[in-house]
Amino acid sequence: MNSITCIIVDDEPLAVKLLESFVAKTPQLKLERSFTDSVEALAWLREHPVQLAFMDIQMPDMNGMELSHIVAGDTKIIFTTAFKEYAFESYEVSAVDFLLKPIRYNKFIAAVEKAERLISLECRTESVEFSTDVGGCAVANSTLYTLNSPLKTTMFIRVDGELRQVNFDNILYVEGMKDYVRFHIEGERLPLTTHMTMKAVEDALPIDAFMRINRSYIVRLDKIRTVDRNLCVYIGDEIIRVTDAYRDAFERYVQTV
């Protein structure tokens, strides 16, 4: 994959300098411009679209949330802010990630890698070509389709020294246990336990099909049977409470279904 073109939009010069230093030591990123004025950034973006924008939220004239609603949909957004109360608002524009200041490089690079996966997936989807050589009908080029499968549907996890392929559609929920996680699979009596962090699981699962609803649980959204008045989720044989940190994002999802 080629370098990801990006910009920085933040009205604090010191914050811009820090992000510029992070971008400079991240090989997969190519910084096109930095802006301390959101209106100027918007005018520039209309003529020079980029793949990724690191964007502060609280800015004069036009805040980052407003700007993100206007920029082209192909531009991925990573919000950077000192105010954690904006975190849930970032879901409204499908932001890739939300970085709380002061930003550490390990958090920055994790967000970049998430954006890279999303951009790479879209590029593979767009690269599928079609031929009209079979009876005048459009037929997908099977070799190219295999190499550029538009959607990843499985993942491998290591269980008892072996790699087990798990279909995303069969996962009910994932349960975190310190340095281990348990994959609860539909139709299987016992969960699959593997050495993995919840953050790694969250990054590996499709963001449109799974949601973290508390620190210890990620659920498959279309497997939820019931949500009661106390915001407890009934899934499989488990009842899982949605905690305050994840409440707003979950409620927004429920309202849009």
112-146 pLDDT per residue, tens: 988 888 787 666 544 443 333 433 333 333 322 22
Please tell me what DSSP assigns to residue 126. Answer: H
Report CA 46 to chain centroid distance, whole Å.
24
117, 101, 118: which is closest to 22 by C-alpha? 101
Whole-number pLDDT of residue 129: 38
Pair 43, 18: CB distance under 8 Å? no
Neighbouring-strand partners of residue 227 = 233
pTM (2 d.p.): 0.51
Amino acid letter for position 247: R
Residues of the chain with confidence (pLDDT) below 70: 1, 72-73, 84-94, 121-152, 257
Residue ranges with strand state E in 12-102: 29-35, 52-56, 76-81, 97-100
Whole-number pLDDT of residue 151: 53
